[in-house]
């Protein structure tokens, strides 16, 4: 099994970990293992697509219509001057 050392942990964080461990009836070390286990096993939040990111960037500059997300579709070039 691997070991991890966490330096510069705030005293209040350590105290809260100790309290949580006591509530659960196990050691502080086991409490940290449980927290880390849950953290790495929870599903990742979906990342916003390009359209969402572009829309978020320009909302303060007058963009008020949604931009469609392109997920696997071919992008069509703009037609200028027609």
Is residue 76, in this structure, part of any structural domain at all?
A: no
Convert the pLDDT of each residue in 14-70 to its tens digit: 999 999 999 999 999 999 999 999 999 988 877 878 877 877 777 777 767 666 666
Would you tell me how many other CB atoms lie within 10 Å of the CB of residue 11? 7
Print the domain residue range for 20: 11-40
Residue 64 lies in a domain: no
**71-76: average pLDDT:** 75
For residue 16, being part of any structural domain is answered with: yes
Q: How far apart are CA 44 and CA 48, in angstroms?
A: 12
The token pair that represents 3 in the structure block = 């070991």
So what's the pLDDT on residue 82?
63
In a domain, 17, yes or no: yes
Q: 73: pLDDT confidence band, cut at 50, 70 and 90? A: confident
Count of structural domains, the chain: 1
């Amino acid at each position: 099994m691997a070991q991890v050392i966490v330096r510069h942990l705030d005293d209040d964080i350590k105290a809260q970990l100790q309290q949580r461990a006591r509530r659960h009836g196990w050691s502080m070390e086991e409490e940290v293992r449980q927290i880390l286990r849950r953290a790495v096993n929870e599903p990742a939040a979906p990342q916003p697509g390009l359209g969402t990111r572009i829309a978020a960037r320009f909302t303060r500059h007058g963009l008020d219509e949604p931009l469609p997300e392109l997920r696997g579709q071919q992008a069509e070039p703009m037609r200028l001057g027609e």
